[in-house]
Amino acid sequence: MEYRELNRNTLERAIRELPGYTPEQELWTAIEAHLEQETQDKHLRMATHQLPLYSPPPLVWENISNELAQKPRLRKLWQRPGFAVAASIFGVLLSVGAWLYLSESNGTQMVLHSTEMLDVTGFEGDWDEDEADIAMVVSMIEKLPANENLSALKTELEELNEAKAVLTNNMTQYGKDAEMIRRLSKIERERSKIVKQMAAEI
């Protein structure tokens, strides 16, 4: 938005009278130290990822398994009320955390079946029928002395050729539909225009 200041002198004087502040001396040192700390942390994180992994001997798992198999000594825990309260709070927090985690990670999934009529009129792929003629025009253009207009036309045609290839490849993957064929038709119309301009240069 353009702004025409009617009282320019007043505005300039007011701006000049605004107080100026300089940052504290230690500010840049603090920023530098902070950045250095971040770099060190990053290196540390990278180093931890590169640490070698070792599998424990089977005896370790057996011992853990044996310990787990033993009955937990619940009675001792309840004999200390402090531990009991802490354990209860921990249990509640764990349940809430687990609920939050599971509610995000799972969700619901279902498979539905129905039938419908699909209009496939004009889905036959006739868009490659003139490729030989287009290639012939391009090969004739290649023999002409280069000029700015021709190279611009060639660049445009290459871009459209690439777009056509991407689009037809996607139709092979996902199947054809009216929207895709409409887009392809538009690309073909633009290609036709360029080929006609190229032919006019021959």
Partner 1 sequence: MRYSFALLLFSLFLTCATVPMIAQTIKVQVITKKIEKTFQFKEGYEVNIEGEKAEVNIQTWEKKEIQVVIELIAKHPEKAVAERDLELMKHLAQRVKNKIYLRNYLSSAEGKEKSEPEAYLSVKYTITLPAECPVYLKNVFGAANISSLTNRLRVNSEFSRLGLENLKGAVEIKTRFGDLIGQDLDGWFNIQSRRSDLTLQNISGRFNIQAQYGTIRLFANEDLADLRLDAEKSEVWFYHPNPQFVGYSLNARGSEVKLPSRLNARWLESDTGERKITFSPNREYYPNVSIRITFGNLHVEKRVAP
Q: Which is nearer to partner 1, 66 or 109 (CB)?
A: 109
Q: Which is nearer to partner 1, 50 or 109 (CB)?
A: 109
Among residues 162, 165, 157, 167, which one has the least CA distance to residue 134?
157
Q: Which is nearer to partner 1, 25 or 115 (CB)?
A: 115
Q: How far is Cα 81 from Cα 73, in angstroms, rounded to an integer?
A: 15
Q: Which is nearer to partner 1, 87 or 163 (CB)?
A: 163
The DSSP H or E segment spanning 95 is helix 81-105
Q: Which is nearer to partner 1, 1 or 47 (CB)?
A: 1
CB of 186 to partner 1, least distance (A): 8
Between CA 146 and CA 152, with CA 151 as vertex, the angle to 5 degrees is 150
CB of 176 to partner 1, least distance (A): 8
CB of 57 to partner 1, least distance (A): 35
Q: Which two three-digit tokens encode residue 103? A: 């509610």
CB of 10 to partner 1, least distance (A): 16
CB of 154 to partner 1, least distance (A): 16
Whether residue 154 contacts residue 131, with contact meaning beta carbons closer than 8 Å, is answered with no
Helix (H, G, I), strand (E, B) or coil at 14: helix
Distance of CA 13 to the CA centre of its chain: 50
Task: Give residues in contact with partner 1 (CB under 8 A).
Answer: 1-4, 6, 100, 103-123, 163, 166-167, 170, 172-177, 179-180, 183, 187, 190
Between CA 104 and CA 109, with CA 105 as vertex, the angle to 5 degrees is 100
What residues contact 77, with CB distance under 8 A and at least 6 apart? 83, 84, 87
